Amino acid sequence: MKKDRFITIKNDINKLLKMSQYIDNILEPREKKVWEGKINRKILVTGLILGLIIILGISSFLIFKQTINYDSNGQQKQISGFIIGLVVLIIGLALLFLNFFSNFVVEYAITNKRIIIKSGLIGTDYKHIYFEQINQVIINVGLIGKIFGTGNLKIDTGKTETYSTGSGGTKIGGMRYQNVRTQTMYDLLKNIDNPYDIYNLIQPSITNRRESLYSGRADKESNS
């Protein structure tokens, strides 16, 4: 009985750790998965360690500082450094581990039709980007990416965000209008291994899917 229970628990853990279980469940008919990946674990752990060093350093400095002077409404006041340091430590650790585990569960997959992004620390969320929606894919490899052999893929689907600069503005007819700018909103495959290989995998799929869409083959595939 105990052995059977242990086997059941082991199988459940293996299912949770296996990426394809989630992705395979949402594939469409005749859709095949050609690649799957996660955020590079070395980068996640490195970021966690650096974050811990920074948070512990700042909070330790504040905790061992007896009082912190600050100005409020022109009056000099004091607050316990221990309290501020403890608050920084608790909030910093909470945000750091939340970000770590949120990124840890992110999974990516590429099929012959789309890119799938799975996320969600508590629930499970899926984002689908069909190839015909993609305008371009941009590779972004920074210093850390060169060290670990990773990079980001920025996927442009034409989504934009308009925001105000909040300063200055243009004066027209006695009225001043704020300056407004528009920026592209990218979907991101973060810190994946071999980004150039993945780019070369996606680009032909985008071209082929667009060609099949324009020629009518995509409709035939969907109907069949």
Question: What's the pLDDT at 170?
Answer: 60
Taking the C-alpha atoms of residue 91 and residue 94, their distance in angstroms, rounded to an integer, is 5
CB 153 within 8 A of CB 195: yes
Query: What are the tens digits of pLDDT across the range 5-52?
Result: 545 544 544 444 455 467 788 888 888 899 999 999 999 999 999 999
When pLDDT is averaged across residues 143-148 and rounded to a whole number, the result is 90
- For residue 223, pLDDT beyond 90: no
Provide the pLDDT confidence category of residue 208 given band limits of 50, 70 and 90. Answer: confident
When pLDDT is averaged across residues 57-71 and rounded to a whole number, the result is 83
Query: What are the tens digits of pLDDT across the range 101-140?
Result: 999 999 999 999 999 999 988 888 999 999 989 999 999 9
Chain centroid to CA 49: 19
2 contacts: CB under 8 Å, gap ≥ 6: none
Of 47 and 223, the structure prediction assigns the larger pLDDT to 47
Q: Which two tokens stand for residue 129?
A: 């980007």
| Mean pLDDT across the chain | 82
